[in-house]
Amino acid sequence: MNLYLIILIATVAVSVLSFNQRELYAKLLFSPYEIQRKNQWYRFFTYGFVHADFIHLFVNMWVLYIFGEAVEFSFLFLFAKNGLLYFGLLYVGGLMFSTLYAYGKHRNNYLYSAVGASGAVSSVVFAYIMLYPLAGLMIFPFPFEIPAFVFGLLYLSYSWFMAHRGKDNIGHDAHLFGALYGIAFVVIVYPEALKMFMSIISNAIR
């Protein structure tokens, strides 16, 4: 079975279980205060397996399902046996890296907490964008496709703006840093990707 599907199934199973077991939910969520006070470092990863509700879970898993297969297949093609390892590092690393800003900002705030796989999913999406910058993506509710790199620029801009000024209880900072991690990860493990990305974009806008 594909690794992205294993992650998806595990996330759905744990999330659904936690909906009815609030003690489990509280134990797994991301809490900078608890991490610092009790050294519960596992929370940097487990929070991605619990979600606020079914809609939150569905959106994240739907996006992972759409992009996860393409990225995992690409990694297997590029890195052979190491492909699965790199995909795992992309996802798990995205879980942790996307929370570092929030950890530094809220480590003394016992009221702050977060859940959801969106940071790691953003890493997967932006790994896809780096590999397929001209792939067509759709933004709801517009009934037309835009190039993936354009979507990426809009997403990064929106996430940055909302992380600084938004007050909608959504972890835009996690989306932003998860996306940046996805970009950096691809460039590190496959340095040719950046050159290819720039060349493809340059040719496309001529």
pLDDT single digits (tens) 157-170:
989 988 887 666 67
User: Under a CB-based contact definition with an 8 Å cutoff, are residues 52 and 116 in contact?
Assistant: yes
Q: How far is it, in rounded angstroms, from Cα 162 to Cα 69?
A: 29
Taking each continuous run of H as one helix and of E as one strand, the counts in the chain are: 11, 2
Would you state the pLDDT for residue 47?
96
User: Under a CB-based contact definition with an 8 Å cutoff, are residues 63 and 11 in contact?
Assistant: no
* Cβ neighbours, 10 Å, residue 85: 13
Q: How far is it, in rounded angstroms, from Cα 33 to Cα 39?
A: 9
User: Under a CB-based contact definition with an 8 Å cutoff, are residues 130 and 187 in contact?
Assistant: yes
Q: What is the DSSP string of 121-189?
A: HHHHHHHHHHH-TT-EEE-TT-SSEEEHHHHHHHHHHHHHHHHHH--SS--HHHHHHHHHHHHHHHHHH
User: Under a CB-based contact definition with an 8 Å cutoff, are residues 35 and 119 in contact?
Assistant: no
Contacts of residue 144, defined as CB under 8 A and 6 or more positions apart, other chains included, come to 138
Q: Over the stretch 36-59, which tens digit does the pLDDT of each residue have?
A: 999 999 999 999 999 999 999 999
Q: Which parts of the chain have pLDDT scores under 70?
A: 140-142, 166-169
> How far are the Cα atoms of 14, 58, 151, 203 from residue 63, in angstroms, in the given order?
18, 8, 14, 28
Residue 122 identity? S
Would you state the pLDDT for residue 142?
66
Would you state the pLDDT for residue 93?
98
* Six token digits for residue 154: 């809009």
For residue 202, the SS3 value is helix
Q: How far is it, in rounded angstroms, from Cα 160 to Cα 103?
A: 17
Instruction: Give the domains, in start order, of the chain with CATH numbers.
Output: 3-205 (1.20.1540.10)
